[in-house]
Amino acid sequence: MATPLLDETPAVETALKDPGPHSASTNNSSTGPSTSTSASSGTSALNIAAIVSNNAPAVASPNHVAPSVIPPPETPSGTIVIVFGAGMESIVHMVAEVLGKPWTTETSLATLARATDVVVAGVLAHDLDRSLEGCDRSSIVLINTHCVEDGTAPEDALTETCDYEFLYSRTPFLRRDLTRFLSLTLGQTRPHEDLRTKTRTNFISTTFPDVHAALSNLDILSVGSDAVEIRVDLLVEPTVDGAAAGSVPSLKYVGQQLMLLRQHTELPIIFTARCTKENGKFPMDDPMLFYKYLRRAIKWGVEYVDVELWLPEEIRRRLSEVKGHSIIMSAFHDFSGTWKWTAPEAQRVFAESAKYGDIVKMIAMVSTIEQNYELEYFRSTIKARGPGPLLSAVNMGQMGQLSRALNTVFSPITHPLLPMIAAPGQLTAAEINEALHIMGQLPKRDLYVIGSFRATPHSISTTYIPAISDAARAIGLVDTIALAAPGETGSARFIGENAAWKGIRATLTREYVPSAYRGRAAIILAGSEIDASAAIFALRSLGVGSIYTVGFKASGPLAAGLEPFTSIQSVKLVEQPFVIVSALPPEKSLLVQPLLRHYRTNGRSSPPSTRGKVYLDLTSGPRKGDPLGVASSAGWTAYGSEDVSAWTTVETLRLLVGQNVPFDFVRMASGRPLF
Ligand SMILES: O=C1C[C@@](O)(C(=O)O)C[C@@H](O)[C@@H]1O
């Protein structure tokens, strides 16, 4: 018998789509001046005078309006309710930390829901129904959290009530996985916005019966991929007695597998339950089975959800209504061998898929090379239509391989380390690149690494580098010179870019959602403005509030609103910083240490809501002192220049060769362990 449609609430939609203007919470004094700083005994140890510029003006009012270079992240509005199990309250604190918001265990959600400021409220699972009484669901986002370590799964009814669900285990990956989950579900990061504009995108179709088997090779497997597909229908759930498992893995098993995969890759995940008729294993007698799994994937915060076109329209429509910030990939496969890309049926399938799909995937089994040309013609007719969902279309079978090289949108790829290919004719990223190269579509490029090259947009001759990106111009520094695709004139041209700011931003947002920085104070120490400018740009892109500078006086395009520290007195006046960045030269690197101690985040003098959070050390080379060690022991979340370099390398490779090499692979290849 078919399962009835679940009664969904649109609360989350409303809450997520209507973010109010940011305002700091009343009981979070972190955005206002802190009195705790002046009480600290560490002040006298500060040697600001050794690094500040002599003629800097006095500290200005923190109420300035910082110039915004990039639209700052949206701030979630309303109350974020974290439902947790007995003894698991620490997850509520972690959510609040990651969001940079205060938390409460006030259980009257009806009262909290009326508050205008974002607050994280923790509610025990068994108190939830009572807490929800009289509550306006449209102003809260309900997130169920469940620790899977004891092998249990959340109760269905609880999952159903909540808008989202975070499954976790207490590993070193927890914090970053939670950040990613919250960033996506609260609309803070939109990975598809980047990917949809990329010239070519690939995704690796993993075919593992158990994700554990993939983990050791995942970094290698995903080089050249922009996303990882989990083929849920191919998962094989072990049974207690080792007997042959049923064809459909349980939601409990799927949830755990997904959690494991997400903990081990930074790439967006595509959640696919492929049906038996389309080369998969999910039975087709109950379409609601698909609804149940795909709806759950949305609740789990999966970036892409594959929705097969044969499913009843009501199901496809419903999924698109509740998709939140997940992207729907409509999927259609034709194995008949009689498919014709030139027939009206192909246009009809596209139109039907486009109704609810953000991406339309159309795949057909072919037996002649000509069918690839027909597909290319079909692709051109879709392109000619103008705006609409992206088309990802390839042919299956050996004869269809050409189309796998020609498709540019989310091309499914395989890898020799996978147990099997997911579809006939699949190619690896390397094979596709080779084919493109032979066809003249991917010309060989020489990469030049120039030692201490420092080019400001003004010092670069426009004869050689005719274009400079907005970011590089604002930062005043070009660190990457990429070759843009040939334009209408047929000639390729160089473009001056800055990759460093993205590396800094990616590091800062690994364990805090972007809006955690919004309106908060930052301190940047550097020997010169140019050393600090990428960090200033990155912080501005996160919408930080006051930025205090130490060691330099800015006068470039990013100077407006920066407030130099001139003396110990200025430190006393300054609110608690949320982030400190040091780009000091190595010989001066230890000068940040007194500041880290002064604004220590784990001392008794400052209440949790005013504590500093992130320390980013951009100094490279043999340094004096141990700022990272001091930061960690003073309670800061500390990152070194290796993290930033790895993220910057990821960005640089995207700019130079248009291919994605994941962060974890770069860290691994540079010989440094992740933890
Ligand atoms: O839809 C697709 C495309 C695919 O069928 C292929 O032909 O490569 C492979 C599947 O895993 C994926 O979900």
Domains along the chain with CATH numbers: 47-71+503-646 (3.40.50.720), 75-184 (3.40.50.300), 189-438 (3.20.20.70), 445-498 (no CATH)
- The predicted model gives 30-59 an average pLDDT of 35
Closest to 308 measured CA to CA, from 363, 376, 237, 388: 363
Q: pLDDT confidence of 329, banded at 50, 70, 90?
A: very high
Q: Tell me if 232 CB under 6 Å of ligand 1.
A: no
| Residue carrying structure tokens 């996985």 | 177
| Residue carrying structure tokens 């206002």 | 32
Highest mean pLDDT among 43-52, 295-304, 576-585: 295-304
Atom number, ligand 1, closest to the C-alpha of residue 306: 13
For a ligand 1 pocket test, name from 202, 204, 233, 274 the mutation site with the most ligand atoms within 8 angstroms of its C-beta.
274
Averaged pLDDT of the chain: 84
Q: Is 1's pLDDT higher than 60?
A: no
- The predicted model gives 393-402 an average pLDDT of 98
* C-alpha dihedral (144, 145, 150, 152), degrees to nearest 10: 20
Q: Tell me if 412 CB under 6 Å of ligand 1.
A: yes
Q: Tell me if 229 CB under 6 Å of ligand 1.
A: yes
Q: Which helix (H) or strand (E) holds 177?
A: helix 174-185
pLDDT of residue 50: 45
For a ligand 1 pocket test, name from 426, 431, 432 the mutation site with the most ligand atoms within 8 angstroms of its C-beta.
426
Q: Is 38's pLDDT higher than 50?
A: no
pLDDT of residue 262: 96
Q: pLDDT confidence of 73, banded at 50, 70, 90?
A: low
Q: How far is the CA of 412 from the centre of ligand 1 (A)?
A: 6
Q: Rounded distance, CA 465 to CA 495, Å?
A: 6
Q: Tell me if 400 CB under 6 Å of ligand 1.
A: no
Q: What is the largest CA-CA distance in the chain?
A: 82
Of the two residues 621 and 167, the one the predictor is more confident about is 167
Residues 6+ apart with CB under 8 A from 552: 53, 526, 527, 528, 529, 531, 532, 564
- The predicted model gives 98-122 an average pLDDT of 75
pLDDT of residue 580: 96
Atom number, ligand 1, closest to the C-alpha of residue 394: 7
Average the pLDDT over each of 15-29, 76-90, 510-524 and give the range with the smallest value.
Answer: 15-29
Three-state DSSP class for residue 571? helix
Atom number, ligand 1, closest to the C-alpha of residue 274: 13
Q: Are 45 and 598 in contact (CB under 8 A)?
A: yes
Q: Tell me if 650 CB under 6 Å of ligand 1.
A: no
Percentage of residues of the chain with pLDDT beyond 90: 63
Q: How far is the CA of 185 from the centre of ligand 1 (A)?
A: 26
Q: Rounded distance, CA 21 to CA 518, Å?
A: 11
List pLDDT tens digits, range 633-656. 998 999 999 999 999 999 999 999
Q: What is the DSSP letter of 74?
A: P
Atom number, ligand 1, closest to the C-alpha of residue 363: 7
Q: Rounded distance, CA 43 to CA 569, Å?
A: 9
Of the two residues 562 and 2, the one the predictor is more confident about is 562
**Nearest protein Cα to ligand 1, atom 2:** 412
**Nearest protein Cα to ligand 1, atom 5:** 423
Q: pLDDT confidence of 565, banded at 50, 70, 90?
A: confident
Q: How far is the CA of 208 from the centre of ligand 1 (A)?
A: 14
Q: Are 113 and 121 in contact (CB under 8 A)?
A: no
Q: Tell me if 404 CB under 6 Å of ligand 1.
A: no
Q: Rounded distance, CA 652 to CA 644, Å?
A: 12
- The predicted model gives 256-274 an average pLDDT of 97
Q: How far is the CA of 274 from the centre of ligand 1 (A)?
A: 9
- Cβ atoms within 10 Å of 216's Cβ, excluding its own: 11
pLDDT of residue 373: 98
For a ligand 1 pocket test, name from 225, 363, 414, 421 the mutation site with the most ligand atoms within 8 angstroms of its C-beta.
363
Token pair recorded at residue 136: 């306006």
**Nearest protein Cα to ligand 1, atom 13:** 272
Q: Rounded distance, CA 149 to CA 467, Å?
A: 53
Q: Rounded distance, CA 143 to CA 15, Å?
A: 13
Q: pLDDT confidence of 539, banded at 50, 70, 90?
A: very high
pLDDT of residue 549: 94
Q: How far is the CA of 423 from the centre of ligand 1 (A)?
A: 6
Q: What is the DSSP string of 137-169?
A: GGGEEEEEEEE-TTS----HHHHHHSSEEEEE-
Atom number, ligand 1, closest to the C-alpha of residue 331: 1
pLDDT of residue 451: 67
Atom number, ligand 1, closest to the C-alpha of residue 396: 7
Highest mean pLDDT among 266-280, 437-451, 591-605: 266-280
Average the pLDDT over each of 329-343, 353-367, 448-462, 528-542 and give the range with the smallest value.
Answer: 448-462
Q: Is 48's pLDDT higher than 50?
A: no
Q: Tell me if 395 CB under 6 Å of ligand 1.
A: no
Q: How far is the CA of 427 from the centre of ligand 1 (A)?
A: 11
Q: What is the DSSP letter of 476?
A: T
Q: Tell me if 361 CB under 6 Å of ligand 1.
A: yes
Q: Sign of the C-alpha dihedral, residues 14, 16, 17, 23?
A: positive
Q: Is 18's pLDDT higher than 60?
A: no
Helices and strands (DSSP H and E) totals, the chain: 25, 23
Q: Are 404 and 426 in contact (CB under 8 A)?
A: yes
Q: Tell me if 554 CB under 6 Å of ligand 1.
A: no
Q: Tell me if 273 CB under 6 Å of ligand 1.
A: no
**Nearest protein Cα to ligand 1, atom 7:** 423
Q: How far is the CA of 305 from the centre of ligand 1 (A)?
A: 13
Q: Is 250's pLDDT higher than 70?
A: yes
Q: Tell me if 275 CB under 6 Å of ligand 1.
A: no
For a ligand 1 pocket test, name from 203, 205, 410 the mutation site with the most ligand atoms within 8 angstroms of its C-beta.
205
Q: Are 400 and 435 in contact (CB under 8 A)?
A: no
User: How far is C-alpha 381 from the geometric centre of its chain's CA atoms?
Assistant: 33
- The predicted model gives 400-420 an average pLDDT of 97
Q: Tell me if 363 CB under 6 Å of ligand 1.
A: yes
**What phi and psi, each to the nearest 5 degrees, are found at residue 346?**
-65, -45
**Nearest protein Cα to ligand 1, atom 3:** 412
